[in-house]
Amino acid sequence: MRSLLAVLLLSFPSLSFASELPPLEAYGRLPMMDILELSPDGTRAASRVMRDGRDLVMVIDLESMEFVTGLDAAEVNPRWLRWISEDQLVLVVSDTVRTWSVRNAFDYSQAYSFDVATRDIRVLLKRAPDLYPFQGGLGRIIGRDPANKTVFMPAFTGTRASQPTGGIYAVRLDRGRDKLIAKGNQHTIDWFLDANNKPLVREDFNDKANVHSIWTVSERGRNEKLLYEREGAMPAYGVVGLTPARDALVLLSNSQAAGGVVYYLMSLEDGSIDGPVLAREGADIRNVITDASRVVYGVEYAGFKPSYQFFDAELNERVADLQRRLPDLASELVSWSDDFRRLVFAIQGGWSSGAYLMFEKDVAQPVVIGRFREDIAREHVAPVEIIEYEARDAWPIPALVTARADVRENGNAPLIVMPHGGPESHDRYGFDWMAQYFAARGYVVLQPQFRGSTGFGYAHNVAGEGEWGGRMQSDLDDGVLHLIDKGLVDAERVCMVGASYGGYAALAAGAFSPDMYKCIAAIAPVSDLRRQIRRARSTRGRNSWVIDYWERQFGAEASEKEILQTISPVFNAEAFTAPVLLIHGEKDTVVHIEQSKVMEKALRKAKKDVEFVKLKGEDHWLTREETRIETLRHLAAFIDEHL
């Protein structure tokens, strides 16, 4: 059989030269390989592959680099993959659904098992007794049995007429019947299992009473011992895993004392909390490295480029050495064999449009499993520079600047400001498909990590609370002024483009800094903050911690109408002078499309220049290739016209 790499992939890195720039579609298309996962012994990999318009899940034998099997994924939109054994793969897929008994549409996920040998596909949890019919987050796996015939999945149990209760199901990968093995209460949000896959710990959060509690439990999930209880609008800790000895829980918390998101240990003996552990000043822990049972082996630190710390000294040095060998790239650990002998990194940035490299212990050269974008040569990857500038109050703002070398040399270029979503998020050093498209065509792209962003320590994160339309916004304007002062960009040719919170920031730029920006493009933006809180209440319930989160972010309660209107772009449409492009997915459940509809209405009433593009079938994250390309086409035409 012909090698899979010979059929699907180009060599790495690409040294070919194309006289013309890659077409728009090359940037808008989804990565050719995505969501790659190693099997437990590391001899196979599964990945979502886009090829010739087809959306596939493919299994590769890594010893021979041969194609083993695959399935069409076009209709299921897989969000992640997980191997249970060398022959059993689980796919979690999602869609936006609406039912007669639920007021608002919601994101619904479902897990499927795929037998690599027989190609048999089975819906997991389908035979589960009393599975509550209206829940969105199905598919999480918190354990697997040694024989790899059963996985353990948390889900709500109950009927249409009852209050849902958090439970654990033992789910068969064959045709056997699923079994409810433990049942908590209506406030249960998570479970952790012991080494024999018996319930060990239950986590509850009572939204109405604002009480977070953690219990050790019996085999049926009943309370044994209260380890922790605390009142608060939101949990102070996120429970993310167990220590290898399963004698303590691993907690994450954004700590002022430690200076960022750090890791604590809670004893299962007496509930005492030790830490912080593995804290780095000015850096946040972004992820924990775990196995299928959520035993924690190390952590990933956030920032522009990820870095790692493991408890095993040899593994820690091996990963650090691999990252040192790729100094000009961002290298993210995305998958590993159970024994960590084989590690797969996603590498991008610098001169690369992205690839998966597999490193094996005691083997000098990595193996290229696949490239992300085979039709974008290294010559057309614009350099990304990490900078820092001072805001008007001298607060340091980290940022990324993407621009061609000749554009940097000549200066006085058009500028696109691209604030990230969240706002509690941050951009990563790498290949940003939208930034790279515009940079390749002579634009400078600025991605500021305004205060409120994560990844740069506690102080930077919390400095954004209550600063929507305030310092978070002026941080963006100050980035523009910094690049103007440097001579890199033309003050008369500046546009802001953003999605989600970035879409709010773009609209706020049009409303509150109208003289600075010549065009505004907002994708899935929040435009009316009171309306956003009302919808969250309708969707989540009046007592949900999500309401408290939004009010903390906005710096005002829903009842403080005047404050929220002051910082809502929809109530400031008269101030706009720049043309506006609104783009929104019709199936967005995070920021409902009504946010763009009311913004368009307000701008038209104020007789402003506005265009509204509705993306059919699209969600909040532009996960569909055709609508991502459609979005880029509209953006390109709009920005080219106005800059």
Q: Tens digit of pLDDT for each residue in 410-454? A: 999 999 999 999 999 999 999 999 999 999 999 999 999 999 999
Flag whether pLDDT at 96 surpasses 60. Answer: no
Flag whether pLDDT at 460 surpasses 50. Answer: yes
What integer pLDDT is reported at residue 100 of this predicted model?
44
Listed residue (120, 126, 176, 128) closest to 150, CA to CA: 176
Q: Count the helix, strand and coil residues of the chain and give each as a percent rounded to the nearest 5.
A: 20, 35, 40
pTM: 0.89
How many other CB atoms sit within 10 Å of the CB of residue 338? Answer: 14
What integer pLDDT is reported at residue 260 of this predicted model?
84
Which residue carries 């076009």 as its tokens? 74
Answer whether 116's CB lies under 8 Å from 69's CB: yes
Q: What is the C-alpha to C-alpha distance for residues 220 and 630, in angstroms, rounded to an integer?
A: 51
pLDDT: is 164 or 540 the higher one?
164
In a domain, 359, yes or no: yes
What integer pLDDT is reported at residue 95 of this predicted model?
60
Query: Could you tell me whether strands 580-585 and 519-523 are parallel, antiparallel, or unpaired per DSSP bridges?
Result: parallel
Answer whether 413's CB lies under 8 Å from 438's CB: no
Q: What is the C-alpha to C-alpha distance for residues 331 and 318, in angstroms, rounded to an integer?
A: 13
Side-chain-side CA neighbours of residue 193 (13 Å): 23
- How many domains is the chain partitioned into structurally? 4
Of the given ranges (121-135, 285-299, 324-338, 626-640), which has the lowest mean pLDDT?
Answer: 121-135
What integer pLDDT is reported at residue 174 of this predicted model?
81
Q: Both 391 and 511 in a single domain?
A: yes
Q: How confident is the model at residue 8 (pLDDT cuts 50, 70, 90)?
A: very low
DSSP conformation letters of 277-293: ES--TT--EEEEEE-TT
Number of helical (H) and strand (E) elements in the chain, helices listed first = 13, 35
What integer pLDDT is reported at residue 223 of this predicted model?
85
What integer pLDDT is reported at residue 538 of this predicted model?
78
What integer pLDDT is reported at residue 552 of this predicted model?
85
Q: Both 356 and 496 in a single domain?
A: no
Flag whether pLDDT at 75 surpasses 70. Answer: no
Q: How confident is the model at residue 108 (pLDDT cuts 50, 70, 90)?
A: low
Q: Which distant-in-sequence residues (6+ apart) come within 8 Å of 486 by Cβ?
A: 411
**Mean pLDDT value across residues 328-351:** 93
Q: Both 453 and 574 in a single domain?
A: yes
**Mean pLDDT value across residues 485-498:** 97
Q: How confident is the model at residue 572 (pLDDT cuts 50, 70, 90)?
A: very high
Whole-number mean pLDDT of the chain?
A: 89
In a domain, 101, yes or no: no
What integer pLDDT is reported at residue 399 of this predicted model?
98
Q: What is the C-alpha to C-alpha distance for residues 7 and 192, in angstroms, rounded to an integer?
A: 43
Flag whether pLDDT at 542 surpasses 80. Answer: no
Which residue carries 């830490």 as its tokens? 275
Tokens in use for 288? 């924990």
Q: Which distant-in-sequence residues (6+ apart) come within 8 Å of 182 by Cβ?
A: 167, 168, 191, 199, 217, 219, 220, 221
**Mean pLDDT value across residues 291-306:** 92
Q: How confident is the model at residue 104 (pLDDT cuts 50, 70, 90)?
A: low
In a domain, 476, yes or no: yes
**Mean pLDDT value across residues 610-639:** 93
Side-chain-side CA neighbours of residue 612 (13 Å): 19
What integer pLDDT is reported at residue 580 of this predicted model?
98
In a domain, 85, yes or no: no
Greatest mean pLDDT among 58-72, 366-380, 414-428: 414-428
What integer pLDDT is reported at residue 105 of this predicted model?
54
Give just the sign of the alpha carbon dihedral 368, 373, 377, 382. Answer: negative
Of the given ranges (245-259, 532-546, 612-626), which has the lowest mean pLDDT?
Answer: 532-546
Write down which residue in 302, 324, 355 finishes a domain. Answer: 302
Q: How confident is the model at residue 483 (pLDDT cuts 50, 70, 90)?
A: very high
Q: What percent of the chain has pLDDT over 90?
A: 67
Q: Both 465 and 540 in a single domain?
A: no
Q: Both 390 and 373 in a single domain?
A: no
Answer whether 370's CB lies under 8 Å from 456's CB: no
**Mean pLDDT value across residues 368-395:** 93
DSSP conformation letters of 452-480: T-SSS-HHHHHTTTT-TTTHHHHHHHHHH
**Mean pLDDT value across residues 339-344:** 96
In a domain, 159, yes or no: no
Q: What is the C-alpha to C-alpha distance for residues 610 and 603, in angstroms, rounded to an integer?
A: 7
Provide the b/e sequence for 235-263 (b: ≥16 CB within 10 Å).
bebebbbbbeebebbbbbbbbeebbbbbb
Write down which residue in 302, 326, 343 finishes a domain. Answer: 302
Flag whether pLDDT at 25 surpasses 60. Answer: yes
What integer pLDDT is reported at residue 9 of this predicted model?
32
What integer pLDDT is reported at residue 12 of this predicted model?
35
Quote the domain boundaries for residue 375: 1-75+304-380
In a domain, 80, yes or no: no
Answer whether 494's CB lies under 8 Å from 296's CB: no
Provide the b/e sequence for 24-56 (b: ≥16 CB within 10 Å).
eebbbbbbbbbbbbbbbebebbbbbbbeeeebe
- The backbone torsions φ and ψ at residue 506, rounded to the nearest 5 degrees and listed phi first, read -65, -45
Q: Both 418 and 500 in a single domain?
A: yes
Q: Both 563 and 624 in a single domain?
A: no
Q: Both 516 and 623 in a single domain?
A: yes
What integer pLDDT is reported at residue 292 of this predicted model?
87
Q: What is the C-alpha to C-alpha distance for residues 216 and 330, in angstroms, rounded to an integer?
A: 40
**Mean pLDDT value across residues 516-531:** 96
3-state secondary structure of 129: coil
Q: What is the C-alpha to C-alpha distance for residues 85 and 111, in angstroms, rounded to an integer?
A: 16
Q: Both 340 and 232 in a single domain?
A: no
Q: Both 347 and 418 in a single domain?
A: no
In a domain, 163, yes or no: no
Write down which residue in 239, 272, 302 finishes a domain. Answer: 302
Q: Both 291 and 427 in a single domain?
A: no
Q: Which distant-in-sequence residues (6+ apart) come within 8 Å of 85 by Cβ?
A: 39, 40, 148
The letter for the amino acid at 166 is: G
Q: Both 399 and 508 in a single domain?
A: yes
Q: What percent of the chain has pLDDT over 70?
A: 95
Identify the burial level of 628 via C-beta atoms within 10 angstroms of its C-beta, where 0-12 means exposed, 13-18 middle and 19 or more buried: buried
CATH at residue 388? 3.40.50.1820
In a domain, 281, yes or no: yes
Torsion of CA 562, 567, 569, 575, to 10 degrees: 90
Listed residue (440, 504, 515) closest to 477, CA to CA: 515
